[in-house]
Amino acid sequence: MNDLMLPSLVKSPEPKSPNQTNPETMGEPSNASPTLSWSMEMSLPPNSGSIISAAFPATSLSRNPGGDILTIQQRFDTTRRKLHQLALAVKKERDPKEKQFLLDESRNLQLFSTLLYLTLMMHKIDEIKVLLKESDPSTYVENQAIFDSLRSPGFHLQRHHESLQKAKKLFERKQKYKVMHDETMSRLHEYEERVGKLQDLATGTANNFSEAMVRLGGSSGDATGQAVNQATMTVELKHMQEKLDAMENDLRKATTELEGSKAENAAVKGELAAKDLALVRAHKDIELAKLVAGSDANAKLGHEQEAKQRIEAQLLAQEASMGSLKTQLEAMQRELDNKSAALEVKEKEYATLAWEYSKVNNVQGELNQDSEAKLKEATGKVKQLEAELNENVEVLNHAQKRVIILETSLEKETERREAAEEKSRQMKFEITELAEKLAELNEQGVDVGDLDRPLSRGGVVLDDGSMTSALSGSISSYVRPKFKGESDYSEAEQAERHTAVTKLQQLYRKKQSYNRWFQMKLELTSKAGVMMALSGTAQGHTGFYLNPSSNHVYYFVVKESGEWSSMFKEITMDQYRAMELDLRRKVEKEGDGALVPIPGTDTVMGKDGFYLNSKQKASFYVNDGGGLKIKEGA
């Protein structure tokens, strides 16, 4: 239970008993069964002998107002009333068997009442500690270590709920990381397959490049051989041309010598003519040889030129082939570079994924270690709680013994009080008889003498208001006094008289307890420097909050992101209480659909504006002709 949470005003699932009233409506008559229930309502049973109900008001610790604790409180009060009725019946009963039956039933009800009392005590540990701290701070401080170890079941349920929430969040985180791990592994396998395909493509590209280089090397070898053959033929042609030039030089020399010798050797003209003829023949032979040699050289030169052209054409074709091969090679090289760059990127991504996978494994390991540590810690806390529970059981056993002793003392005190009441009734009856005798003697004119001494302390009040003086012995008008004992009233009349007497006590005690509790909560919030949540608002959630320093009330809307915003302008505490009172009255008449306008917002009933519903939640309502409805998106 939140120590800084005011009770919330909600519809009760079942009607309240007549002894349950609201502290805010103290003094107002109740004409019908109330339809509202405060979740921290403080009620007292009709039987004033109910110790726990008189000391500690009924506080519903469950989230459902009018829940289990209120039901236990009502059953406890009903059981105490039945025990009181059985005690009266046992005293009046004269039949031994019937009396024994009533005693057995009373004993069973006593055990049931004790069990209900212990159940209520377990849920009221926090209230008892607050009351002790307020009434006797020194004792509370001395035994604070013991009190801190005592916790209500609601506290343990809350802790258990928080542990379950933490375990749930941890499980969800593990599931999330498991899904991330599976996705990462699937992506990793996909990247591995893509890298394998790229490696196969790179291998095929390298093989194609090697084959192209081999083909290019073979073409270059053929072209080199043809160029060597062409160079050899050119050298041979040059050598033959040199021989022809040498033969022409010899011929010119011989001609020059022949013309010079004509003048000197005229005698030898015949010989010279013969030689000339021989020379002509030789020259013809030479020319013929030269022609033959020239034709052979021209033929060879034509063949060489044709071969040279073929070689040049082959070289051009080879150069073109080499250019295309180089272009293909460059394209393949660029493609290979691109594939290598993509491969490097994929390798980097693979390394990143591997790092993320290792990080996920590390986080999962840390989470497993954290889970094991938290599990060990929770196990230790459970053992500690079991030990504390055992100690609490011993304390409760001791308290049960004390309760039995107190109830026995209470029964004895009740018996003594009933005996005193019986004695008082007997004395009243004797006084009535003496008054009658005194009146008769006065009528007869008898001197009463000292008969008035027993009545010298005062007079007797008669039914019509006349008074008999014990000192003078005179009587104004005789009307027989009538005294009605407790046994003369019916059970319904006794319950009504008892309720009428105790109702004001209940209201007063309830109001005082509520005021003390409210003031203590206000002081705690002031010291903490925070605003105090009012009725219907859980601390830290959307609802009304009181600023202790300015005594102004704000309505804050708390979003999931933790952002706080005020819905409308602040109002005073008096305006807030008047609004609450108006809301309670409307809910009693109209039910859960009741709405009241919020003061200070210029809202007119039935028009558009800010309204407060039966759950004490404010919203902006609009009238679309069919009634007030919450504005969409508000």
pLDDT tens readout for residues 457-503: 333 443 333 444 333 343 334 344 444 555 666 777 666 666 655 66
DSSP for 225-243, written as a single string: HHHHHHHHHHHHHHHHHHH
What pLDDT score does 57 carry? 44
| Mean pLDDT (the chain, rounded) | 69
Question: 347 pLDDT exceeds 80?
Answer: no
What's the rounded Cα separation, in Å, for the pair 541 and 531? 12
DSSP for 235-288, written as a single string: HHHHHHHHHHHHHHHHHHHHHHHHHHHHHH-STTHHHHHHHHHHHHHHHHHHHH
Percent with pLDDT over 70 in the chain: 58
600's torsion region: left (phi>0), alpha (psi -120 to 50) or beta?
left
What is the pLDDT confidence band of residue 46, given thresholds at 50, 70 and 90?
A: very low
Indicate the pairing of strand 628-630 with strand 609-612. Answer: unpaired
By CB atoms closer than 10 A (0-12, 13-18, 19+), residue 318 is middle
Question: 77 pLDDT exceeds 80?
Answer: yes
Mean pLDDT of 522-538: 74
Cβ neighbours of 154 (radius 10 Å): 17
Higher pLDDT: 292 or 414? It is 414
Cβ neighbours of residue 166 closer than 8 Å, sequence gap 6 or more: 374
What pLDDT score does 107 carry? 92
How many Cα atoms occupy the beta-carbon half-sphere of 224 within 13 Å?
A: 6
Of the candidates 571, 519, 527, 582, which has an alpha carbon nearest to the alpha carbon of residue 545? 571
Question: 367 pLDDT exceeds 80?
Answer: no
Of the candidates 319, 307, 320, which has an alpha carbon nearest to the alpha carbon of residue 227? 307
Backbone angles phi, psi at 37, to 5 degrees: -140, 125
Higher pLDDT: 98 or 373? It is 98
Q: What is the DSSP letter of 480?
A: -
DSSP for 494-541, written as a single string: HHHHHHHHHHHHHHHHHHHHHHHHHHHHHHHHHHHTSPEE-TT--TTS
Question: 631 pLDDT exceeds 70?
Answer: yes
Question: 111 pLDDT exceeds 90?
Answer: yes
Question: 344 pLDDT exceeds 60?
Answer: yes
What's the rounded Cα separation, in Å, for the pair 6 and 190? 59
What's the rounded Cα separation, in Å, for the pair 334 and 514? 88
Question: 60 pLDDT exceeds 50?
Answer: no
Most confident segment among 35-49, 73-87, 155-169, 594-608: 73-87
Kindly list the distances between the CA atom of residue 156 and the CA atoms of 135, 148, 149, 167, in Å, as whole numbers in the listed order.
Answer: 27, 13, 12, 16
Kindly list the distances between the CA atom of residue 596 and the CA atoms of 32, 302, 326, 592, 614, in Å, as whole numbers in the listed order.
Answer: 22, 124, 91, 12, 9
What pLDDT score does 454 carry? 40
Question: 386 pLDDT exceeds 60?
Answer: yes
Higher pLDDT: 116 or 247? It is 116
What's the rounded Cα separation, in Å, for the pair 269 and 285? 22
| pLDDT tens-digit series, residues 190-243 | 777 877 777 777 777 777 766 766 666 655 555 555 556 556 656 655 665 565
What pLDDT score does 79 carry? 92
What pLDDT score does 230 carry? 58
Q: What is the pTM of this model?
A: 0.25
What is the pLDDT confidence band of residue 83, given thresholds at 50, 70 and 90?
A: very high
